Amino acid sequence: MAAITHVFTIARVAELLGEDEDWLREISVEMEPEDGIISVYSIGDDYTPAFTDFGIDNLRQLVDIYKEDAKQLAAAPDKTKQRP
C-alpha cells in the first residue's frame, strides 16, 4: 500500500459528494481507520474526521447503502396501519 500523502476534511468531502456534512459525520461513525478515516485534532478536544482517497470511496458506498435503505423503507407498506 502506498504511503498516505494527503487527507480531505469532512467539509471538503461533503462538498465533493454533494451531501450534507452533518449527515456524513453521522454515518462515518461506522468507519474504522482501516476504512480510510482518521481524526484530526485541534485545540482542546475538538476534532474533525478526515478521509483518504480510499476513505472517500468507502464513505460513498455507505451513502449509497443508506440511500437505498431509505428508498426501501419509503416503499414498504406501513404495517402499523394495517388491520390483522
**What pLDDT is attached to residue 36?**
97
- Please return the burial class of 2, using the count of CB atoms within 10 Å of its CB with bins 0-12, 13-18 and 19+: exposed
Q: 67: closest CA among 19, 12, 13?
A: 19
**What pLDDT is attached to residue 83?**
53
For each of the chain's 84 residues, which pLDDT tens digit applies? Answer: 678 999 999 999 999 999 999 999 999 999 999 999 999 999 988 999 999 999 999 999 999 999 998 888 888 776 565 555
